Structure 1
């Protein structure tokens, strides 16, 4: 499974570890993802999404229906 947020599209970033001697080695920065179930009362069903912590806060603020509507408008499918 890929490490991509279903709502925000956040994905793994690439960067460097930098030592005290300024040696650089490649590393990855992973997004803070959680697999979470959400209930959609309009459709009377549960959906499971892999979402970042920032997406969870957005869902808590705006509601799952509004967030899914905006994501579908941007071309994401669930």
Structure 2
């Protein structure tokens, strides 16, 4: 499965490893993704999402229902 957050859409970024001699080689900065199950009482079901830790903080703050509604409104097809 791809390394994409299903709520925020965060993806791996590309950058350089820079050595002490200033040699540069390509590297990837992967988002901190966690697989997490959420219960949605309105639909009376559990869903499993692959979310970044920053998305988990947003879900804890605003609630899963509000976050899902906003993600669907933004055109996120993964949810």
- TM-score, normalisation: structure 2: 0.96
Q: Which residue does 2:43 correspond to in 1?
A: 43
Q: Identify unmatched segments of 5+ residues in structure 1.
A: none
Aligned mates of 2:39, 2:24 — CA distance in 1: 45
Q: Identify unmatched segments of 5+ residues in structure 2.
A: none
Larger relative contact order (Cα-Cα within 8 Å, sequence gap ≥ 6) = 2
**Aligned-residue RMSD, C-alpha:** 0.6
- TM-score, normalisation: structure 1: 0.97
Residues matched between the structures, number = 78
Q: Which residue does 1:5 correspond to in 2?
A: 5
